[in-house]
Structure formats: C-alpha cells, structure tokens
C-alpha cells in the first residue's frame, strides 16, 4: 500500500485507479476465438447462482458474474436465465463498467450460441448492441462498442483482474484454481 501511496494520495477513489491497474496488468489473455477461452468442466448452473448474487450487489462487480460465462457453452435454458438477469438489471446499471461488461457477455454468448441459445438471448442481444450509447466516457464507449458490436469478437479473461475474479466466481469442480461450488462462494462471501 505504501508504494501506491507514493504515486496517489489516499483520498483518490479506487475507481479512478482501476483503469491504471488494468493498464499495468496488460492484455495477456485476450483472444478472438472461443477455444482458448473455454474453461473445461464449468458448472454453468451453479455459476448462474453466483451471478444472480453478484447482480444484486450493485457495485463494480455487478456484471462480472455473467461476464465470466461470456465464452462458455450454455444451453438454451441457461441462456434464458442469463437473459432474464441481464434484462431485469441493465436499465438500472449506472456504472459504465457494468453496462459494458454485462452487454459484452450477452454479445459473446449470442454470437457463439446455437439457434436455441440465440432465440433465448435475442431480446437481450438487441438491447446489448445499443448499450454503448449510454456510456459517456469516450474511451470506455469506444472499447465497449468494439467488444459488443465489433466484427472480431474479444474472448478470454483479458487481464489479471478478470482472471482473479473468474477464479473466485466461476464454479469448476475438480479444478482447484476455481471455486468448487456455489456453497464455497457463499462461505467466501460471509
């Protein structure tokens, strides 16, 4: 903490520092195809329970519960749950980061999805494509638009912060890097 204090006064809000730390972490896990971004043996149903709890927090991690699923394989029923979470929360999201990441998740899941997944995500996807218009910061707006509407998809956990979040919120039984169950997530939240 002292080394950070040398560069920034204590009164500096963490949200201002967030882009600085993202820059430092670099984009070492960004891909443009699905395969390198897939995590084997993800329990999507348990991860959706985590995502619902995260969505209720209304802080900067609000969107990340569905974001960690953006490159994974989901069923039409799971896509319906994701669409419901998105549609019931996107209009009340105020943090530009959340608007961007939730919409990015919908975009990737829709574009990767089969016909059944696309049918369940269609309304959410049409709404997601318009969300960059809500973002005021031009740099964030440009990146969000690229991730949501760009011809080339961006996949992967992108940087250390995304990977760290995934380790603590993506349920992958048998892979000790990730949480093993929804119950483990609940224990960590206590």
Q: In whole angstroms, what is the distance from residue 175 CA to residue 86 CA?
A: 28
- Dihedral sign, CA of 177, 189, 185, 114? negative
Domain that holds residue 171: 2-189
β-strands 155-158, 29-31 pairing? antiparallel
The total number of structural domains in the chain stands at 1
Helix (H, G, I), strand (E, B) or coil at 131: helix
* Structure tokens that stand for 177 in this block: 């890097």
Q: In whole angstroms, what is the distance from residue 91 CA to residue 109 CA?
A: 20
Q: In whole angstroms, what is the distance from residue 106 CA to residue 108 CA?
A: 6
Closest CA to 25 of 165, 162, 143: 162
Per-residue model confidence as pLDDT tens for the chain (190 residues): 333 333 334 444 545 555 554 444 444 567 787 888 899 999 999 999 999 999 999 999 999 999 999 999 999 999 999 999 999 999 999 999 999 999 999 999 999 999 999 999 999 999 999 999 999 999 999 999 999 999 999 999 988 889 999 999 999 999 999 999 999 999 999 9
Annotate 38-95 with three-state secondary structure. Answer: CCCCCCHHHHHHHHHHHHCCCCCCCCHHHHCCCCCCCCHHHHHHHHHHHHHHHHHCCC
What are the Cα distances from residue 31, in Å, to 65, 69, 156? Answer: 20, 15, 6
pLDDT (0 to 100) of residue 29: 64
Q: Are 129 and 108 in contact (CB under 8 A)?
A: no
pLDDT (0 to 100) of residue 35: 85
């Amino acid at each position: 903490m002292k080394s950070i204090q040398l560069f920034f006064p204590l009164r500096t809000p963490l949200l201002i520092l967030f882009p600085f730390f993202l820059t430092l972490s670099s984009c070492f896990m960004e891909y443009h195809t699905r395969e390198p971004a897939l995590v084997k043996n993800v329990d999507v149903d348990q991860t959706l329970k985590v995502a619902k709890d995260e969505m209720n927090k209304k802080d900067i991690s609000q969107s990340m519960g569905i974001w960690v699923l953006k490159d994974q394989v989901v069923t039409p029923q799971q896509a319906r749950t994701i669409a419901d979470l998105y549609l019931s929360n996107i209009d009340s999201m105020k943090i530009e980061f959340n608007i961007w990441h939730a919409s990015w998740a919908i975009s990737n899941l829709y574009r990767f999805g089969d016909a059944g997944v696309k049918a369940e995500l269609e309304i959410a996807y049409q709404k997601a494509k318009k969300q960059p218009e809500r973002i005021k910061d031009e740099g964030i707006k440009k990146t969000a638009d690229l991730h949501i509407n760009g011809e080339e998809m961006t996949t992967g956990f992108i940087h250390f912060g995304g990977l760290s979040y995934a380790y603590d919120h993506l349920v992958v039984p048998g892979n000790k890097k990730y949480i093993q169950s929804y119950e483990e997530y609940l224990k960590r939240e206590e």
